[in-house]
A and B are shown apart, each in its own frame.
Chain A
Amino acid sequence: MTKQRRVPMVERMSLWQRVVHGILILAILMLVVSGLALVYHQHGWAQALIAAMGGLGGRAVVHKAGAVLLVLVGLSHLLSLMVSPRYRRDMRESVPRLSDLRQGWSGVLWRTTGKGQPPRYGRFTPMQKFQYWGLLACCLVMGASGAVLWSPQASVGLLSKRFVDLMLVVHSSQAQVIFILFILWHLYDIHLAGGNFPMNPAWLTGKMREDLFKAQHGAEWDAMQKGTKE
């Protein structure tokens, strides 16, 4: 136990960030479970899930509650950006740059050829930046199409059957992309890959192992050592 405690850790997420991240997980789980159950309604597992949610009506309530929760997470994120310098610093760090492409490519080269040094990423790796902005874009698409599908009857009358059909395809197809890109890939990238197995505890404790941090965010570590960053 004492040995484990001595493992040096680096802070990665604030308490508030962890709380919001937890609510985001809950919202996405509610949406994914109730959404995929509808898309795969002909399968036994989906039917069992729908039954567990209290039938089709209950499923819709869970899905819509998840959507409201996700919107609230988005609004809290905006609010945090307005009031918190830490959020604004992280936002600046997450802006995609041309160097991300170069670093991403050198990461691929290093893995395939083993030549040179592994890339030294900043506070956010190119993959993390891609996932942050990608998820944001996807959520906007899901929000817009979801708003149309909130009441299909009203939407058909207001827009058209064709448009609602289009939104249905966009919504259900995009959901599958989100599932792969932001759930499976994020779980692999953050919790399984790069020695993080079985998981990166930052989402619970806010801290990650220093040796992993050095390897995965080398440039950020250097900057912290120089004292240019906290």
Chain B
Amino acid sequence: MTGPSMLRLRRILWVGLVAAAFATAAYAQEDVRCLSCHGKPGFRKTLPSGQVLELFVDPNLLRLSVHKDKHCVDCHADVSEVPHPVTPQPVNCRRCHYNGNTSGAPQLAKYLEFERSVHGKALAAGNPKAPTCQDCHGSHFILPGSDPRSRVFRANIPQVCGTCHLKIFAEYEASIHGKALAKGNPDAPVCTSCHGEHNIEKPEETTSTVNPRHVANTCAKCHDKVVIMEKYGVNAEQVATYEESFHGIANEFGVLKAANCASCHTAHDILPPSDPRSSVNPANIPKTCGKCHPGANANFANGRIHIDAKDKSAGIVYWVALGFKILTLSTLAGLFIHIGLDLYRKIRNHQKAGGAKPGAPSSEIQP
């Protein structure tokens, strides 16, 4: 490269570098301007409704979050003047969070799932209680789901959902699943394990994971896995035995009033059968069955509900089934022996007759 052109390139590089430095400084300047108010602890506003709006933002927390490189106006894009002549609108995460974005956000289309979900539909319908992204993920201190400090970290999910779903959260906390989670059990299901995350739908929706059509499949995600169930002494055949029961077959053929897992075990306050408060404690079975079968009595509890005729735990049912299996196979063997003997004699007679006339009556007719 010749001297003058080298010089020109250097100039261009310098100009670029200085411009970039100024731009960064300008951004930083913006943040400083924002924080001159929002950085003061106790900065809040009382709305005409009496509701207090906390407006303090801890810049240190933001710098620890996944958005540590972002500046205030990256998200609060409608703010350009201080003080704000109009009330700033809630942040729209979709500015960056869409499939194909160039801002470095994950290439996911979760917001599309959210739009189709019960929460998204409520939001679109103008329901003021409907959650937005921030209600679950937080706003300035958003962390990846794998970080235990994240609001959407597995173990924190019930609390986040419980912010709105108070009664269900209380039921869940007392349930066998909730207690297991509290003990730090990584197998314990949280809300999203059964309901999904961004795609949560009403149970009435046919595609919902908790629709009566799909409840058994949803529970089966864990309950028919021997590797998980054997750790807790729970029979992994419960799903299969349900599917072979009157209820399971009816459900399979679209009779949705037939009981599914949740009909008997309940959805959120599931307790082990040994717990006297459990809906499937033997003492409570008549009452539980009585929800659909009026007048259900103690005879409903006399026998196993999840019976597996192929397992010795079925008692007499197992032995009778085994006996019939032997009988069926013996009968089949008898038929084959009968046919075999007939064929053998037919072939021998045919050979004796010299094989000259295949199909001659003498070799065919047999008593």
Extra inter-chain contacts (18) besides given A111-B341, A114-B345, A185-B335, CB under 8 Å = A38-B249, A114-B349, A114-B352, A120-B367, A121-B367, A161-B301, A161-B303, A161-B305, A162-B302, A162-B317, A165-B309, A166-B316, A173-B321, A173-B325, A181-B335, A193-B338, A193-B339, A195-B365
Residues of B within 8 A of A45 (CB): none
Nearest 6 Cβ contacts at the A-B interface: A162-B303, A161-B303, A173-B324, A160-B302, A195-B365, A111-B341
Specify the chain B residue showing the minimal Cβ separation from A108: B341
- Which of the 9-residue segments B71-79, B201-209, B210-218, B289-297 touches chain A? B289-297
- Per-position 1/0 for A182-220, Cβ under 8 A of B: 001100110001110000000000000001100110100
Task: Count chain B CB atoms within 10 A of each CB in A159, A166, A185 and give the residue with the most.
Answer: A166
Quote the shortest CB–CB distance from A103 to chain B (angstroms).
9
- Flag whether B135 is at the interface (Cβ < 8 A): no
- Flag whether B171 is at the interface (Cβ < 8 A): no
Kindly state the separation between the CA atoms of A177 and B320 in the bound complex, as whole angstroms: 14
Asked if A176 and B338 sit within 8 Å, CB to CB, the answer is no
Quote the shortest CB–CB distance from A160 to chain B (angstroms).
4
Kindly state the separation between the CA atoms of A202 and B25 in the bound complex, as whole angstroms: 105
Q: Which A residues from 140 to 179 make CB contacts under 8 A with B?
A: 152-153, 156-166, 169-170, 173-174, 176-177
Q: List 5 A-B contacts (CB under 8 A).
A: A119-B367, A161-B304, A162-B304, A162-B317, A185-B331
Residues of A within 8 A of B367 (CB): 107, 118-121, 125, 194, 215-216, 218
Kindly state the separation between the CA atoms of A152 and B259 in the bound complex, as whole angstroms: 15
Q: Which B residues from 330 to 367 make CB contacts under 8 A with A?
A: 331-332, 334-335, 338-339, 341-342, 344-345, 348-349, 352, 361, 364-367
Kindly state the separation between the CA atoms of A107 and B345 in the bound complex, as whole angstroms: 11
- Per-position 1/0 for B155-191, Cβ under 8 A of A: 0000000000000000000000000000000000000
- Flag whether A77 is at the interface (Cβ < 8 A): no
Of A170, A195, A215, the contact of B324 (CB 8 Å cutoff): A170
Residues of B within 8 A of A177 (CB): 324, 327-328, 331
Residues of A within 8 A of B345 (CB): 110-112, 114
B→A interface (CB under 8 Å): 243, 246, 249-250, 252-255, 293, 295-297, 299-305, 307, 309, 314-317, 320-321, 324-325, 327-328, 331-332, 334-335, 338-339, 341-342, 344-345, 348-349, 352, 361, 364-367
Asked if A157 and B361 sit within 8 Å, CB to CB, the answer is no
Kindly state the separation between the CA atoms of A164 and B321 in the bound complex, as whole angstroms: 14
Asked if B303 and A41 sit within 8 Å, CB to CB, the answer is no
- Flag whether A180 is at the interface (Cβ < 8 A): yes
- Flag whether A135 is at the interface (Cβ < 8 A): no
Q: Which A residues from 102 to 117 make CB contacts under 8 A with B?
A: 107-108, 110-112, 114
Residues of B within 8 A of A165 (CB): 303-304, 307, 309, 314, 317
Residues of A within 8 A of B304 (CB): 161-162, 165
- Flag whether A56 is at the interface (Cβ < 8 A): yes
Kindly state the separation between the CA atoms of A79 and B300 in the bound complex, as whole angstroms: 40
- Flag whether A31 is at the interface (Cβ < 8 A): no
Specify the chain B residue showing the minimal Cβ separation from A162: B303
Residues of A within 8 A of B327 (CB): 173, 177
Residues of B within 8 A of A96 (CB): none
- Flag whether A62 is at the interface (Cβ < 8 A): no
Asked if B320 and A212 sit within 8 Å, CB to CB, the answer is no
Quote the shortest CB–CB distance from B107 to chain A (angstroms).
40
Task: Count chain B CB atoms within 10 A of each CB in A42, A165, A184, A188 and give the residue with the most.
Answer: A165
Kindly state the separation between the CA atoms of A120 and B366 in the bound complex, as whole angstroms: 10
Asked if A41 and B317 sit within 8 Å, CB to CB, the answer is no
Q: A161-B303, A162-B317 are in contact. Are A50 and B366 (CB under 8 A)?
A: no
Of B316, B335, B365, the contact of A184 (CB 8 Å cutoff): B335
Residues of A within 8 A of B305 (CB): 161
Asked if A160 and B299 sit within 8 Å, CB to CB, the answer is yes
Residues of B within 8 A of A170 (CB): 320, 324
Asked if A188 and B300 sit within 8 Å, CB to CB, the answer is no
Q: Which A residues from 79 to 131 make CB contacts under 8 A with B?
A: 107-108, 110-112, 114, 118-121, 125
